[in-house]
Chains A and B, each alone.
Chain A
Amino acid sequence: MAKKEELRELLKAELKDDFIGEELAGERRLFVDVHNRALVKTAEILMKQGARYQVGVGYESRKGGRGLALVHTFAFDNDALIVIVRTFAPEDNPEFDSLTPIIPGAGWSERECIDLLGFRFKNHPGPKRLVLSDDWPEGIYPLRHDVPHDLMPPATRDVVFRLEQPPPGTSIVPFGPFHSSLHEPAHFSVYVDGENIKGCEYRGFMTHRGIEKLAQTELTYNDVPFVAERICGICGSVHSVNYAQAVEAAAGIKISRRAEFIRVVMLELERLHSHLLWLGVAGHLIGFDTVFMQAWRIRERIMWLAERLTGNRKTYGMVIVGGVRRDINKEKAEDIKQVLKEVEREMLSLEKAIINDKTIHKRTRGVGYLSKEDALKWNLIGPVARARGIAIDARKDHPYAAYDELEFEVPVVDYGDVWGTLVVRVKEVYEAINIIRQCLNKMPADGPLAIDLDAPIPSGRQALSVVEAPRGEAVHYVLTGEENKPERWRVRAPTYANLQAVPEMLMNNKLADFPIIVGSIDPCISCTDRVVVIEIGLQKIKVMRKEELETISRKMRFEG
């Protein structure tokens, strides 16, 4: 691919001796190793070429004496190319240059590395603790190989969380850690002046489960898809497919075309149920429970269908490395077509009711507005970006599975508000139905569901996979390891990127609009909570220490 050659030559010419080498990969990925000192320069070159920053990954090399590694990935959405830049530092001095000053979106990834691997970052604006709770002892880095996965340091009780003082003239309305408009633990301390939101302090990452560490220590390649699916209760297949694709790419496995089509069917069914779920929740959040009930009634058909196809309403357990576990035969295909017909019919009447409802317009137009420029600045993805005029969709930009053979539209609108995200999601429901129908017609009649591997997966290979989840692009990075398990597996869920822009969306809106604005990004806290807390002051975003929710719960337990 031309862009790949061009970038490689450009990097070689600019970096000279600092360009260490390139790992062979397919035409859509460029894996380069660069010298530690050239990291910022490399990032600057790539960003100038129009890259979109995705995620940073740190890991400890198990062998070969290469020390600690830091990986940054950059997507070129127009050229179907992702550049993965890796750099090393010696174990006794794990210091890297921070990318955060030039790419704000890198801040979370870098702080994750500080917490979990003990990296140090030069010029990081706020290198504070992020993932780990305040009472986690200094000097124990959970993702290092010598730390067991089940290490539980004793909790200390004297760590007390202090909320920031609200700005003068405002008072605090606490949304969370548990609130009926948040479906998972998260805490927004909202500063209000009357009914106007004047700022907000966000604290999250209360449900960090250490899934990545578990996969790297206790599980084998084919156990992980089932754990990956449990990262999220709504878009589970996204993570299992994503992981499997990454491992397959690293191992150089080509799965059967039929299996790829079956994966697409499951992914799109999941998108259908997720969008209908969102639509219902959005209705509920603006006090329109009839939309809630009707959307979920339509969704229920898809849940039953999924149960007939896979045995489960959710968490399908369909994906393994090398293919899928269950077939979609003629009978099941007919079943799917029948259900889709019903869903499409009911969806049309629901859509008509929503689009024509003036009060829904009143509650969503201009609410949570963010301009296209701001959306680009925050690297927004998924429907949240597509509602702001940014045409980005991993299914089109970085085709995977069978999407290259399917024809579909990517709905993009430029309302820039909650209404826009609603319109995009409603349109995507029809596109998903369209995609599944195409899959059922175009699917090859035969082909193995899963292929067996002839040889062990070689260690030390990198792979990066992206899948368009209902909420946006999910990224999985895999480094293959010894003993039939990945050495490093990193998940970046879409909410990780979108959540950062929420405080800016909230600014100067009404308190009554808080639930629907937060809801408009369809936040998935369990996906995101592998780390991270940001804290947002008045009109400005400052990176802040992750204060532990755990501490709060402890305080309540012992004092309350």
Chain B
Amino acid sequence: MKVAAIFINLAYFLLLAPFLEGVMRKLTARIQSRQGPPLYQPYLDLLKLLGKENIVSSKNWAFRLAPLLAFSSMLAVVLLVPLAGAENLLSHSSDLMTLIYLLTLSGFSILVGALASGNPFAGVGASREMMTIIMLEPVLAMTLILGAVKSESFTISSALSGIGRNHGFSYFLMLVVYLLALQAFVSRQPFDIPEAEVEILEGPYVEYSGPNYALFRYTLNIKRMFYAWLFVVSFLNFVPSGNFWLKLLLETAGILILFVLISVIGATHPRFRIDQAIKYYTLLVVLSLIAIGLGVKGW
């Protein structure tokens, strides 16, 4: 069972992530009075990109390595997590640090690829991405550390379930902070600043095309799904454990609701400037630190 769980994890994220993008695109389109593409459009997009010529515009080897590294480290992240509360074989050989490390590695790979391309727009995008990572990683880390503090354990599954162990001040404060940061975690408006199409032409990805770009797209899809999933399992863990499939279904429903929220916020906001966003992130970091303090106090 523990070996099979690895494959269930993999299939769950790989198959569902593009569909969620489809949901997002459809909803955005409806809000904008458009028909919108069919829900399965992102699968077609990925297939199409995978079938295209892989144009390598930079002689730097990091340019080719970056999409592979970004995608594989993101895959590693979703392999480690306990889906529907079920631990798998890999969960035992990892802890919170592994998770945070792999997530950062994935974001970092995008930076490396952007800088290796040598494109000035990618350079601007990379610097924005870097600032975003620096400001947002702490918020994610604090959320997980709150779970570790509460459960007094560094393993992933106990930390995740620890966040919602008791619903004290720290729980509610961290929940609000995470929700406020969610739009930035999934880099949708108003926080799609590193990509900003009209300013810097998709920033880090400007030189990427074909399969390389497909990998980045897929990485982004899985990353978005992961952040939504993390919220559902850590903050909304009211679902009684028992039937694995029922729990998985309820978690999926939670993710879908979050994506509706993300789409609506994304469609009703213009993009922030990076300096405005940094101020916002700073507030989030401070609030999450306070939440940790409260958690240590046992509140």
Q: A173-B121, A173-B124 are in contact. Are A283 and B198 (CB under 8 A)?
A: no
Q: A179-B201, A297-B33, A512-B193 are in contact. Are A286 and B271 (CB under 8 A)?
A: yes
Q: CA of A284 to CA of B196 in the docked complex: distance in angstroms? A: 11
Q: Is the pair B268, A290 in contact by a Cβ cutoff of 8 Å?
A: yes
Q: Is the pair A359, B270 in contact by a Cβ cutoff of 8 Å?
A: yes
B199 close to A (CB within 8 Å):
yes
A326 close to B (CB within 8 Å):
no
Choose one: A285, A290, A297, A511; the contact of B31 (CB below 8 Å).
A290
Question: Interface extent on B, as a size class?
Answer: 20 to 34
Q: Is the pair B33, A293 in contact by a Cβ cutoff of 8 Å?
A: yes
Choose one: B28, B123, B273; the contact of A510 (CB below 8 Å).
B273
Choose one: A173, A287, A290, A514; the contact of B120 (CB below 8 Å).
A173
Q: Which residues of the partner chain A approach B192 to less than 8 Å between Cβ atoms?
A: 287
B197 close to A (CB within 8 Å):
yes
Q: Is the pair A181, B31 in contact by a Cβ cutoff of 8 Å?
A: no
* B107-123 contacts to A (CB < 8 Å): 120-121, 123
Q: Which residues of the partner chain B approach A283 to less than 8 Å between Cβ atoms?
A: 270
Q: Is the pair B270, A512 in contact by a Cβ cutoff of 8 Å?
A: no
When each residue 178-197 of chain B gets 1 if its CB lies under 8 Å from chain A and 0 otherwise, what string results? 00000000000110110011
Q: CA of A513 to CA of B200 in the docked complex: distance in angstroms? A: 11
When each residue 275-317 of chain A gets 1 if its CB lies under 8 Å from chain B and 0 otherwise, what string results? 0000000011111111111100100000000000000000000
A195 close to B (CB within 8 Å):
yes
Q: Which residues of the partner chain A approach B32 to less than 8 Å between Cβ atoms?
A: 289-290, 292-294
For residue A179, which residue of chain B has the nearest CB? Answer: B201
Q: Is the pair A287, B190 in contact by a Cβ cutoff of 8 Å?
A: yes
Q: CA of A181 to CA of B31 in the docked complex: distance in angstroms? A: 23
Nearest chain A CB to B262 CB, angstrom units: 14
A49 close to B (CB within 8 Å):
no
For residue B273, which residue of chain A has the nearest CB? Answer: A512
* B183-229 contacts to A (CB < 8 Å): 189-190, 192-193, 196-201
B276 close to A (CB within 8 Å):
yes
Q: A293-B32, A293-B33, A293-B34 are in contact. Are A287 and B270 (CB under 8 A)?
A: yes
A207 close to B (CB within 8 Å):
no
Q: Is the pair A512, B33 in contact by a Cβ cutoff of 8 Å?
A: no
Nearest chain B CB to A68 CB, angstrom units: 46
Q: Which residues of the partner chain A approach B201 to less than 8 Å between Cβ atoms?
A: 179-180
* B1-48 contacts to A (CB < 8 Å): 28, 31-34
Q: Which residues of the partner chain B approach A510 to less than 8 Å between Cβ atoms?
A: 273-275
Q: Which residues of the partner chain B approach A211 to less than 8 Å between Cβ atoms?
A: none
Q: Which residues of the partner chain A approach B120 to less than 8 Å between Cβ atoms?
A: 171-174
Q: Is the pair B275, A195 in contact by a Cβ cutoff of 8 Å?
A: yes
A362 close to B (CB within 8 Å):
yes
Q: Is the pair B124, A285 in contact by a Cβ cutoff of 8 Å?
A: no
Nearest chain B CB to A278 CB, angstrom units: 15
For residue B127, which residue of chain A has the nearest CB? Answer: A194
For residue B120, which residue of chain A has the nearest CB? Answer: A173
When each residue 349-382 of chain A gets 1 if its CB lies under 8 Å from chain B and 0 otherwise, what string results? 0000000010110110000000000000000000
Q: Is the pair B199, A288 in contact by a Cβ cutoff of 8 Å?
A: no
Nearest chain B CB to A386 CB, angstrom units: 23
Choose one: A174, A287, A291, A294; the contact of B198 (CB below 8 Å).
A287
When each residue 240-284 of chain B gets 1 if its CB lies under 8 Å from chain A and 0 otherwise, what string results? 000000000000000000000000000111111111100000000
Q: CA of A52 to CA of B200 in the docked complex: distance in angstroms? A: 38
Choose one: A181, A195, A289, A362; the contact of B272 (CB below 8 Å).
A362
* A167-186 contacts to B (CB < 8 Å): 171-174, 179-181
Choose one: B34, B197, B267, B273; the contact of A363 (CB below 8 Å).
B273
A383 close to B (CB within 8 Å):
no
Q: CA of A459 to CA of B279 in the docked complex: distance in angstroms? A: 67
Q: Which residues of the partner chain A approach B128 to less than 8 Å between Cβ atoms?
A: 195
Q: Is the pair B33, A294 in contact by a Cβ cutoff of 8 Å?
A: yes
Q: Is the pair B275, A288 in contact by a Cβ cutoff of 8 Å?
A: no
Q: A195-B275, A287-B190, A290-B31 are in contact. Are A360 and B199 (CB under 8 A)?
A: no
Q: A172-B120, A173-B121, A195-B275 are in contact. Are A286 and B197 (CB under 8 A)?
A: no
Nearest chain A CB to B261 CB, angstrom units: 16
Choose one: A194, A359, A362, A515; the contact of B199 (CB below 8 Å).
A515
Q: Is the pair B271, A290 in contact by a Cβ cutoff of 8 Å?
A: no
Q: CA of A285 to CA of B190 in the docked complex: distance in angstroms? A: 13
Nearest chain B CB to A245 CB, angstrom units: 37
Q: Which residues of the partner chain A approach B31 to less than 8 Å between Cβ atoms?
A: 290
When each residue 507-522 of chain A gets 1 if its CB lies under 8 Å from chain B and 0 otherwise, what string results? 0001111110000000
Q: CA of A293 to CA of B35 in the docked complex: distance in angstroms? A: 12
Q: CA of A292 to CA of B273 in the docked complex: distance in angstroms? A: 19
Q: Which residues of the partner chain A approach B197 to less than 8 Å between Cβ atoms?
A: 180, 287
Choose one: B123, B198, B268, B276; the contact of A515 (CB below 8 Å).
B198
Q: CA of A363 to CA of B271 in the docked complex: distance in angstroms? A: 8
Q: CA of A510 to CA of B272 in the docked complex: distance in angstroms? A: 12
Q: Which residues of the partner chain B approach A362 to less than 8 Å between Cβ atoms?
A: 272, 276
For residue B270, which residue of chain A has the nearest CB? Answer: A288
Q: CA of A357 to CA of B267 in the docked complex: distance in angstroms? A: 13
Q: Is the pair B190, A512 in contact by a Cβ cutoff of 8 Å?
A: no
Q: CA of A297 to CA of B34 in the docked complex: distance in angstroms? A: 9
Q: CA of A192 to CA of B124 in the docked complex: distance in angstroms? A: 10
Q: Which residues of the partner chain B approach A285 to less than 8 Å between Cβ atoms?
A: 198
Q: CA of A171 to CA of B120 in the docked complex: distance in angstroms? A: 9
Q: CA of A214 to CA of B123 in the docked complex: distance in angstroms? A: 46
When each residue 328-339 of chain A gets 1 if its CB lies under 8 Å from chain B and 0 otherwise, what string results? 000000000000
Choose one: B267, B268, B269, B274; the contact of A512 (CB below 8 Å).
B274
Q: Which of B33, B197, B273 has the most CB of A within 10 A?
A: B273
Q: Which residues of the partner chain B approach A172 to less than 8 Å between Cβ atoms?
A: 120
Choose one: A179, A195, A288, A293; the contact of B269 (CB below 8 Å).
A288
Q: Which residues of the partner chain A approach B127 to less than 8 Å between Cβ atoms?
A: 194-195
For residue A173, which residue of chain B has the nearest CB? Answer: B120
Q: Could you name 7 residue pairs across A and B whose Cβ atoms are closer than 8 Å?
A: A283-B270, A294-B33, A359-B269, A512-B196, A513-B273, A515-B198, A515-B199
Q: Which 9 A-B pairs have the closest CB atoms?
A: A287-B271, A288-B270, A293-B32, A286-B270, A181-B198, A512-B273, A515-B198, A290-B267, A290-B32
Further contacts, 18 of them, CB under 8 A, given A287-B192, A357-B270, A511-B199: A171-B120, A179-B201, A192-B124, A194-B127, A195-B273, A195-B274, A285-B198, A287-B189, A287-B270, A288-B270, A289-B267, A290-B32, A297-B33, A359-B190, A510-B274, A512-B193, A512-B274, A515-B199
